[in-house]
Amino acid sequence: MIPISDRLPTRRFPIMTILLIVANVVIFGFELLLDMLGLLEPFIYAFGVVPYRVLHQFDMLTAFSFFSSMFLHGGFLHLAGNMLYLWIFGNNVEDALGHFRFLIFYFLCGVLASLAQVLASINSTTPGIGASGAIAGVLGAYLVLFPRARIITLIPLGIFTQLAELPAVIVLGFWFILQLFNGVLALGLPSAGGVAWFAHIGGFVAGLLLVRLFAIGRRRAIRYYHY
């Protein structure tokens, strides 16, 4: 299932969501430049989260990588998929939490997502990159805040596709089960196909658990969406 859009309006301009998208796109453009110069690989290794380095060679650059890694992507499809999810679900979560709370929530979920991946692959020297851990936290928050929201979803049916309008609890619940299933299958394997499943799982669980804390004092904004 591929979400296309939702039916929830926003009352405020989602400035933080848009700035995050712009920042990711600009930095991806910088990655393309580095790739042409033959400098991308060491850049990714320096600013991605490397589990082995976190546990055995921790320094200030390693600490910074928990934030810098959220703005790095491994290709256009990786970037496009993440930004699509961030736009669909991020604008409503930002509207409910407020701009600055949303930004702190986003980064906190991203850091916790990276920690989950580190713990799941403690000896890996492969750098973890991408905004998907932080965005998974946004998905978890959306599920808590707007479980009945209608999501316009593209459903592949063999060579055909079908558009359907499904509640968020089904779309996001299916997404999480898929991450969990693949994460369990990937345990103990030297490679998980380049996908940080446990970053997705950790970010989603962090979003589920933390969103109520970040929503304190903003119940009116949240109730507005429950009709």
Q: Residue 153: beta bridge partners? A: 3, 164
Residue 79 pLDDT exceeds 60: yes
Would you say 142 and 172 are in contact if contact means Cβ atoms under 8 Å apart? Answer: yes
Would you say 153 and 84 are in contact if contact means Cβ atoms under 8 Å apart? Answer: no
Strand positions, DSSP E, the chain: 2-6, 150-157, 160-167
pLDDT (tens digit per residue) in 139-183: 999 999 999 999 999 888 777 788 889 999 999 999 999 999 988
Residues 6+ away with beta carbon under 8 Å from 1 = 153, 154, 155, 166, 171, 174, 175
Q: Which of 202, 5, 209 is nearest to 92 (CA)?
A: 5
User: What's the structural domain count of the chain?
Assistant: 1
Look up the pTM and report it: 0.91
pLDDT at 155: 86
Q: How many Cα atoms are found within 13 Å in the side-chain-facing hemisphere of 227?
A: 4
Rounded Cα distance between 119 and 21, Å, is 28
Q: What is the CATH number of the domain that holds 127?
A: 1.20.1540.10
Average pLDDT over residues 183-202: 77
pLDDT (tens digit per residue) in 36-77: 999 999 999 999 999 999 999 899 999 999 999 999 999 999
Average pLDDT over residues 26-45: 96
pLDDT at 227: 34
CA distances from 110 to 37, 69, 103, 105, 152 (A): 29, 9, 11, 9, 26
Rounded Cα distance between 26 and 30, Å, is 6
Average pLDDT, the chain: 90
Q: Provide the domain limits for residue 45.
A: 2-223
